[in-house]
A and B are shown apart, each in its own frame.
Chain A
Amino acid sequence: MEKNEVQEFKKEFKLKGLKYNQMNKSIMFVVCLIFLAITITFGALVATAFKYDMYFSTKKDATEEINRDVVCRDFYCDSIYDMMNAYSVEDYSNLEILSSSHNENLRFTIGTPTDLFQSDEFDLTKYTLVYEASGYYYNYAIENTQLHEGKVYINNDYLTSSRFDIVNLGIDYLYKYKHMLIIGVIVLLCFDLWIYIWLLHAAGRRENREGYVMNACSKIPLEIYFPLICFAIFFLAAISSDILFFNYRLQVIFTIIVFVIGGMLVSIDFAIRVKTKTLFSNTLIAIMYRKTVYPIKLIVKKMWKEHTNLMNKLVIVYVLIGFFAVMPFIGAIVYLLLFAPLVYLAYILMKLHEATIQLAEGNLDYQVDTAKMIYEFKESGENLNSIAHGMNIAVEERLKSERFKTELITNVSHDIKTPLTSIINYADLINKEETENENIKEYSNILLHHSERLRKMSEDLIEVSKATTGNLEVNLQPCQIDVLLSQIYGEYDSKMQEKGLDFIINKKEYLPQILADSKYIWRVLDNMMNNIYKYALENTRVYIDVVHVDGKVSMIFKNISKYPLNVDPQDLLARFVRGDDSRHTSGSGLGLSIANGLVTMQKGSLDIQIDGDLFKIVLLFDAIDKDDYTEFSM
């Protein structure tokens, strides 16, 4: 019967045209709030009536009580009481200020019964006692506690003033409609409830659509939505005292509104969740359950159905119990077991990394031990090994061919040397023969000269092949440049004088040492000086500058060329190239090439600069001595 009635009611309601659209819902929501506000106001009036016992006592008693409260509030009698507490009771001057600054209608007495302080002289008959307080306070004068009393009196005129007319009018109405108010509150509550129920009913429904629909908010998992909205409500309630600091009543009203709206929203959302059956399913726990445990459950269920005999079912149960019981241990063991593979992986990666470093550094003999590696690691390791191997082969091939080249040149020149010895010796013998024939003399001279050239060339050839392929053992030692320079001077001074070349050595008093092989640096300098001897223009100056800059020492040889130099400086470093492009001097064309090779081997560098007839060779070596005075002297 009841059910039918409800359905009837629903139908009727729908027929009335209140459709479940957003507009209606919003309007109803606001209407509900407004009625709720009215209900609360009425409720407050009813509560006031109850507070002053209006329903059960006479109007006079209530009026007196209300009036006293109003007076107390008007004159902050609580403050007077507080002041009694706060200040030494002897010091009444503060109270004096308070009373006079407030209202002349206020009078009070305060102090011990024997030593009573009166704010000023007043006729007690014209005043009404509205507030009374007493307590024991410490008196410093007698060093003991004493009973203090405080009484507040109000001028009777004030009590009959217009302010109290309004209050009394209110009391009159309250008295007159006190029963009506109760009924009104009940009716309003019913109406509120009805709208609220309609709102809950409408929640999740849509116009012209069967069933329930979730809104955006209700799609948020409950564990997220609920704490969020609760936080919002309590946050707003909490800050009400800050934003509405000026009025306590407004704060209360604001807090109530926040709670009412929040509560309604939450309840409507819950209604949607319940209706769409997502209250429990749309939670994080449920989602996690569906994603993890549920599939397992399905599998177990399926197995349960397939294995019909008891034995199998027992096994399944046993396995399941074991699974859940052992689960934490399995977790721990898996965690521990993972440790070994991780260490292993790190170890392999380290090994491979080490191999790449070794390869990069040119250590081609390094082999990765791939025996303990698996899958791609093993492949990478083997690839690295084969790269090393391949490179090794290539390098060895190259070394072999270089060595072969050097050996070939050495052997060939050895083989050349033996017949050359005979040529030189017999040319010399012919030259020494006494003969009338001038031609023989001339020819033998030419023979002698060129065989000498051939000798020099064969020696240079070995030298250059060794120097350029690095097939020489270099023994680097500290070498003093100034000593070296003076030695060069000593060796070549007279030779240069032959050609009228003036030797000028520019150097600082303190020069750092350089690292060089004493034997090879001599060959280099010997080559330089021989070049100068051969190609420098007679009667010019030859400069050797020594400069120490940035931890490097450069020796700069400068001379004026006898022949025009139309050659690229780099070409001069190539083998068998000579500056004069002719071949009538005694050089082999290998001098600079040898020098360059030897300098490079000693970790130095050789640079040739040509500026017109100015021929310049710059030898650069690392300085090893970095004394402070060297810097200072520069």
Chain B
Amino acid sequence: MYNILICDDEKDIVKALKIYLFNEEYNLFEANDGREAVNLAKKHEFHVILMDVMMPHMDGISALAEIRKTSNVPIIMLSAKSEDTDKILGLNVGADDYVTKPFNPVEVLARVKSQLRRYTQLGSLTTSDDVIVIGSIQLDDKEKKVRVDQNEVSLTPTEYEILKLLMMNPNRVYSPKQIYEQVWDDCGFASENTVAVHIRHLREKVEINPSEPRFLKVVWGQGYKLERN
């Protein structure tokens, strides 16, 4: 059983989230403002907290900071504030994820699951030289397998090679031409389009929301990179 706290001043949203998250494995708690959430977090041990930002009494960011003082529980921010600066603020204060309203319930569900796995199964990771872990993506070069949030993802050999290249040098931007030359081991003449298509497929497989990727990012006009924050 995992304890999940849902904190939002809009009771209907809490209710809807409860319906979506209703599961035998989850024990759902509810809070309607930041103070309540902080108090609950002191009493119980939560495995994931979903937190709204704009709330009465104590806003989500303050509550986040308060909870972070005592706990490293995964906290997913849910907010109508969709500015980059808001996201950066939330993540910097200590949020693990940031989902903007109006959200896709399925996406929220996936993210909750992802955070739960990361939080609870972190210790069981087999760390060897052949395993590269970036965020929730885990690449085992010996078994030639890729797992995202512990779930195995089936990749084509080309996709695997591209992901491996990017994961070996995280944060480095590779141009499509470079990727082609390294993966295909050929001179990339007018083959950049192929790379772009492969990258998109790859993104669809490893990202929860492909149009808003967390790890496999597109640097427009320059190339692709695997971001490790």
Q: Which residues of A contact B175 (CB under 8 A)?
A: 480, 483
Whole-angstrom CA separation of A410 from B85 in the bound complex: 14
Report yes or no: B12 in contact with A422, Cβ–Cβ below 8 A. yes
Interface: B81 (CB within 8 A): yes
Q: For the complex, is B10 an interface residue (Cβ under 8 Å from A)? A: yes
Min distance, Cβ A484 to any Cβ of chain B, angstroms:
4
Residue among A415, A484, A491 with the highest chain B CB neighbour number at 10 A = A491
A489 CB-CB contact with B under 8 Å: yes
Residue of B nearest to A417 (CB): B80
Quick one: which of B172-196 are within 8 Å of A by CB?
Answer: 175-177, 192-193, 195-196
Q: Cβ of A490 and Cβ of B81 under 8 Å apart?
A: no
What A residues does B119 contact at CB under 8 A?
A: none
Contact A490 B13, beta carbon cutoff 8 Å: no
Q: Give the bracket for the number of chain A residues in contact with chain B.
A: 35 or more
Q: Which residues of B contact A489 (CB under 8 A)?
A: 193, 196-197
**Residue of B103, B200, B221 touching A480 (CB-CB under 8 A):** B221
- Closest Cβ of chain A: how far from B26's Cβ, in Å? 17
- B98–chain A nearest beta-carbon distance, Å: 14
A490 touches B10 (CB 8 A): no
- B221 & A483 in contact (Cβ 8 Å cutoff): yes
Q: Say whether B219 contacts A493, CB under 8 Å.
A: no
Q: Which one of A10-18, A80-88, A516-524 is at the interface? A: A516-524
Which chain A positions have C-beta within 8 A of B82? 417, 459, 462
User: Does A482 sit within 8 A of B, measured CB to CB?
Assistant: yes
Decide yes or no whether A428 CB sits under 8 A from chain B: yes
Answer yes or no: B94 CB below 8 A from chain A CBs: no
- A312-352: CB near B (< 8 Å → 1, else 0) gives 00000000000000000000000000000000000000000
Q: Is A103 an interface residue (CB 8 A)?
A: no
Residue of A451, A482, A490, A521 ringed by the most chain B CB atoms within 10 A: A490
A399 CA to B221 CA, complexed, in Å: 32
Partner of B200, one of A462, A482, A483, A491: A491
Task: Judge if B222 is at the interface, Cβ distance under 8 Å.
Answer: yes
Q: Is the CB of A521 within 8 A of B221?
A: yes
Interface: B101 (CB within 8 A)? yes
Most buried by B among A426, A486, A493: A486
- Asked if B193 and A493 make an inter-chain contact with CB atoms under 8 angstroms apart, the answer reads yes
* A562 CA / B33 CA spacing, docked (Å): 50
User: Which residues in B have their C-beta under 8 angstroms from that of A423?
Assistant: 102
Interface residues on B, range: 20 to 34
Pick from A424, A494, A518, A522: contact of B102, CB below 8 A: A424
- Contact present for A484 and B220 (CB under 8 Å): yes
Q: Which residues of A contact B134 (CB under 8 A)?
A: none
Give the Cβ gap from B78 to chain A, nearest Cβ, in Å.
8
- What is the total of A-B residue contacts with beta carbons within 8 Å? 102
Residues of B within 8 A of A417 (CB): 80, 82, 101-102
Closest B residue to A492 by CB, please name it: B200
CB-CB < 8 A to A514: which residues of B? 221
Closest to B10 in A: A418
Task: List residues of chain A with CB within 8 A of the CB of B220.
Answer: 479, 484, 487, 518-519, 521-522, 525
Pick the contact of B195: A426, A486, A516 (CB < 8 A). Answer: A486
Q: Contact at A414–B221, with CB atoms within 8 Å? A: no
Report which of B16, B196, B200 forms a contact with A429, defined as CB distance below 8 A.
B16
A522/B218 in contact, CB under 8 A: yes
- One digit per residue, 1 when the CB lies within 8 angstroms of any chain B CB and 0 when it does not, for chain A 464-490 equals 000000000000000111111011111
**Residue among A415, A482, A487 making CB contact with B218, cutoff 8 Å:** A487
Contact (Cβ within 8 A) A490 B199: yes
For residue B170, CB closer than 8 A to chain A, the reply is no
Specify which chain B residues have a CB less than 8 angstroms from the CB of A425 in the assembled complex: 13, 16-17, 20, 102, 105
Point out which of A422, A462, A481 has the most chain B C-beta atoms below 10 A from its C-beta: A422
Assembly CA distance A486 to B195 (angstroms): 8
> Are B192 and A518 within 8 A (Cβ)?
no
Judge whether A378 is part of the interface by a CB distance below 8 angstroms: no
Q: B1 interface residue, CB < 8 Å from A?
A: no
Q: Are A518 and B80 in contact (CB under 8 A)?
A: no
Chain B nearest CB from A419 CB (Å) reads 8
Q: Which residues of B contact A521 (CB under 8 A)?
A: 220-221
CB contact under 8 A between A483 and B222, given known A424-B102, A425-B13, A429-B16 = yes
The B1-26 residues at the A interface (CB cut-off 8 A) are 10, 12-13, 16-17, 19-20
Whether a CB of chain B sits under 8 angstroms from the CB of A195 is: no
Distance between B216 CB and nearest chain A CB, rounded to angstroms: 12
Residue A79 interfacial (CB < 8 Å): no
Alpha-carbon gap, A589 to B192, bound state (A): 33
Q: Does A421 contact B (CB under 8 A)?
A: yes
Which has the most chain A C-beta neighbours within 10 Å: B80, B81, B193, B220? B220
* B105 cross-chain contacts in A, Cβ below 8 A: 425, 428
Q: How far is the CA of A486 from the CA of B83 in the complex (A)?
A: 28
Restricting to A422-436, which residues have a CB under 8 Å from any CB of B?
422-426, 428-429
Do A421 and B218 touch across chains, with their CB atoms under 8 A apart?
no
Is A233's CB within 8 Å of the partner chain B?
A: no
CB distance from A375 to the nearest CB of B (A): 52
Q: How far is the CB of B80 from chain A (nearest CB, A)?
A: 4
Query: What is the CB-to-nearest-CB distance from A588 to chain B, in angstroms, rounded to a whole number?
Result: 15
A420 interface hit (Cβ, 8 Å): yes
Interface string of B87-118 (1 = CB under 8 A from A): 00000000000000111010000000000000
| Beta-carbon contact of A490 and B195 below 8 Å | yes
Known: A421-B102, A481-B221. A490 touches B193 (CB 8 A): yes
Measured CB to CB, the closest approach of chain A to B1, in angstroms, equals 24
Closest to B204 in A: A494
- In the bound complex, what is the Cα–Cα distance between A282 and B197 (angstroms)? 106
Chain A residues with a Cβ under 8 A of chain B: 410, 414-415, 417-418, 420-426, 428-429, 451, 455, 459, 462, 479-484, 486-491, 493-494, 514, 516, 518-519, 521-522, 525
The 3 A-B residue pairs whose C-beta atoms are closest, nearest first, are A490-B196, A479-B221, A486-B192
14 A-B contact pairs sorted by A residue (CB < 8 Å) = A410-B83, A415-B80, A420-B101, A421-B10, A421-B103, A426-B12, A426-B16, A479-B220, A480-B175, A483-B175, A483-B177, A486-B176, A518-B219, A521-B221
